[in-house]
Chain A
Amino acid sequence: MFELRGVDKRFDAVVALNNASLSVEPGEVHALLGSNGSGKSTMIKILAGLVNPNAGEILIDGNPVEIRNGYDSRKLGIATAFQDLSLIPTMSVRDNILLGNEPRNALGFVDQKTSDEIINRLLERFQIDCDPDDYVQTLMPSTQTMLEVAKAVALKPRLLLLDEVTAALHYDEIQVLFSVMRELKEEGIAMVYVTHRMNEVFEVCDRTTIMRSGESVITGPMDDFSLDDIVYYMTGQRPDKSKKDVVHIHSDEGREIVLDVKNLSIFPKVHDISLRAHKGEIVGIGGLQGQGQPELIRAILGAIRYEEGEIIYDGEPSTLKSPSKAVKNGMGFISGERNREAIFPARTVLENILAGKVAKGKTFAYMPAKANRAFAQRAVDKYNIVIGSLNHPASSLSGGNQQKLVVARWIAMQPKLLLLDDPTRGVDIHSRLEIHEILKACANEGMTILISSSESEELLSLCDVIYVFYEGCVSAQLTGENKTPEKLVAAMMGMSEDQEIVSTMEAKA
């Protein structure tokens, strides 16, 4: 039996785990559920030896153990298939599977014959179609994921950790994986299974632990939970569809088309995407993570190249080759990855707000200090950003206020088209609502907004049209009465035309 008790993990000020617990019995598939950032992956990483907890203990068969690195973890019989893969792309399939676990002969050399047997048996079991001497980087992403699982299983573990492995897999591959999991269950191997796809949970899992903001909220047999219960424990509230604040009215008639994307394809994530945004419209992009949403937005902005298709912006085919040209042509871009793509943490609040204005102006244009301060102060007042002073570094603000700062930076520019890539990721609920209000107000004034989000709630409450992406294609376009949580979730799973998945979920609920 494997047990985690009272585990704490802090990354500086951010609490990733707070008194979290998990216990897994041999021969069970244990679902570890929770929304993004609830600490599931951190739990996995602690067991895999990649992260050392600040407090708490790990027990195996009742004995406390210490896992300091990947080697310790393997020694204790724990194998992990990571979400972001632990394969080495420049090595062959054979070397990857055997890495750190090479069968040796009497002389200490790698035993070629035994390793061939292991590889062939494994590739057959997982129905992976590839040459053992192929380099991993030439394989399909889904094949790589299967390989990642195969590599973990090859270690013959007592505890197998599967961290969102099905996100990149196709339907038939998932079925192969499930049949292997059932075999392993028969052999008495304990498994922890992390996923966002709820139908899979009901299909293979025996028990579940649900996490919310770093705490393990509840543990119990899968049969005791309905889909609604799971959502409740994950979010802490029953779905509430009553209240509405700023009403954003919108009609298609007579509106000019600001953005028209036709059959866009970007290697390798986006295959065929068409969407259209009118003036004053809020267009949402939904879908599971990694279905091509960030790529589309960056292609519109000119940050990445696209292979096929056409982007028509403001009535003319877009020939934008860089984000700087896009900004000069009236686009704005707000990224959810604040630290990497939006905030200059060490620079002052003033400079952060002015960054957008600077980007649009002439390189050597004179900027009077007084006007700058007034401009920044207006933005701070208007959008309710809580700051110490305009001269404090941006890193002194809370996450939510940092994000409002980025929003203010771009809205103050009055762009014609505002692109947002998961803007409220890691932003607290209060700031999130404020950002929503700001966006709605801007749309009412005629700004076109294209927003990608991983949160269904956000899209449903904010958008006029929702395009749902699945595997690089638009699987549904939801407007008006079609904008329901059920249809959104179904489309996110790639089941737009046939509604089986929805009915199964309803049956469960």
Chain B
Amino acid sequence: MIDTLKNSFTRLRRSSFFAGFVLFIIALVLNAALQGPASFFSVKSINTLFAKNAAFILVAIGQSLLLIAGTMDVSCGIQLALVNVVTIMTHQVWGIPFGLSCLLGIGAAVLASIAVWVCCSVFRLPALLASYAMTYVIRGVNVMIMSVPQGKVPKEWYMAYDSQLFGLIPVSFFAILGVLLICRFARKTPFGSHIYAVGGNPRNAFAAGISPVKVQLKAFLLKGVIVGIAGLCLTLMIAAGNPLQAEDYGIRSLSACILGGLGFGGWGSVASAVFGSGFFVLIQNSVYYFFSLLVRLIPGFSVSSYWQNFVSDVIIFLGLLMTIVTAKGRQEVLREGIVRQFKRIDYRKSPKESEGKEVTTHE
């Protein structure tokens, strides 16, 4: 029993998402302490946390797939707004059922993903620059579809999103769970290992008969669907349309993935994205409660929300620095392992050299 626990801990410690996991736990404890455990673990508080942040966590999961495949998309954020405006406007202008509008919204995200794929994988433009440029293209499209914030979501839809199943589990949690299950299944298919091969070394993947462009297309398609679902979560959460929102989700999801332990290409897993984005969310939450604690403790204390953002961003920056330290630590472990193997071989080699001499005379 103890042994299996020990083993699973060793496995966890060696996994790529360990750094993200530790950060996540720290943020969780911090948040619970500042908010008060009773309040934090209440059904209402958990529900709000998931409902508000499901979109961000989903975008990070989508981004992680691209990072594993050796590419990225910083226009993910504005794609959420695209899903938002397409869903709202098709429902409002064409009068089609809202469910159908939701599907069209997901379709729009998939199309945007394909556009980014064409730039990054087919034309081989640097992914960071190309997808950054796409941010402005998509923003233009958004404004063409919806010039000013407007529209609304049918009441039963956003009420359903904000409710809990069995009076306990938030509906938004199921959106995340569903996407994670899809990723889990995808990992078990050949695609699940091809994506790592393409991210790790495209030339060698090509030599193994894998087409890097096709594998990246699949990754972009999957990411498109995930961003589509994330966009719906956002739409149901704010229950209105806004063509210029969530733009910073793109770059933030990228840093959440790196925080969670993903590397650029072929290293890490979707779990990294979950823990990394979880850390992001909880830190922002903690800082909010920290400042409200200060306001209560110190009479006359008041700060703008800019200060809150500043403090949480500094903490996230420190977290990013920490991942560099852990990455270095991992390199050290790797290096020590190699040195050990070398020593073992040297030790084994000395008696074998005499054997070698005898055999060379066989001619």
Contact = CB atoms under 8 A, between A and B. Distances in A.
Given A89-B200, A109-B188, A109-B189, A99 B205 contact: yes
Interface stretch (B54-62, B136-144, B174-182, B337-345): B337-345
Given A102-B190, A170-B349, A498-B357, A88 B207 contact: no
Contacts of A50: 206-207
Interface stretch (A2-10, A70-78, A446-454): A70-78
A279 to B, nearest CB: 36
A91 B363 contact: no
A95 interface: yes
A481 interface: no
A100 B207 CA distance: 10
Interface stretch (A79-87, A308-316, A346-354): A79-87
Interface in A108-151: 108-110, 137-140
Interface residues of A, number: 44
Contacts of A504: 360, 363
A86 B209 CA distance: 11
A495 B193 contact: no
B190 A171 contact: no
| Best-surrounded residue of B185, B206, B267, B360 (most CB of chain A within 10 A) | B360
A341 interface: no
The majority secondary structure among interface residues of chain B is helix
Contact of B338 (A80, A98, A138, A507): A138
Contacts of B361: 500
Nearest to A99: B208
Interface string B343-363: 001000100100111011101
Contacts of B209: 69-71, 73-75, 100-101
A90 interface: yes
B189 A110 contact: yes
A171 B193 contact: no
B334 interface: yes
A101 to B, nearest CB: 8
B194 interface: yes
Contacts of A109: 185, 188-189
Interface in A92-108: 95, 98-102, 104, 108
Given A90-B200, A137-B334, A138-B337, A100 B208 contact: yes
B164 interface: no
B197 interface: yes
A95 B197 CA distance: 9
Nearest to B356: A171
A51 to B, nearest CB: 11
Interface in B201-218: 201, 204-211
A299 B363 CA distance: 41
A504 B352 CA distance: 21
A252 to B, nearest CB: 32
Nearest to B341: A140
A95 B349 contact: no
Nearest to A69: B206
A100 B211 CA distance: 10
B201 A88 contact: yes
B196 interface: yes
B224 interface: no
B266 interface: yes
Interface string A373-411: 000000000000000000000000000000000000000
Contacts of B363: 504, 507
A75 B209 CA distance: 9
A231 interface: no
B210 A498 contact: no
A473 to B, nearest CB: 11
Nearest to A134: B337
Among A48, A75, A498, residue most surrounded by chain B Cβ atoms (within 10 Å): A498
8 contacts: A71-B211, A88-B201, A90-B263, A104-B189, A109-B185, A268-B338, A500-B361, A507-B363
Interface of B: 185, 188-190, 192-194, 196-197, 200-201, 204-211, 263, 266-267, 334-335, 337-339, 341-342, 345, 349, 352, 355-357, 359-361, 363
The 3 closest A-B pairs by CB, nearest first: A71-B209, A88-B200, A100-B208
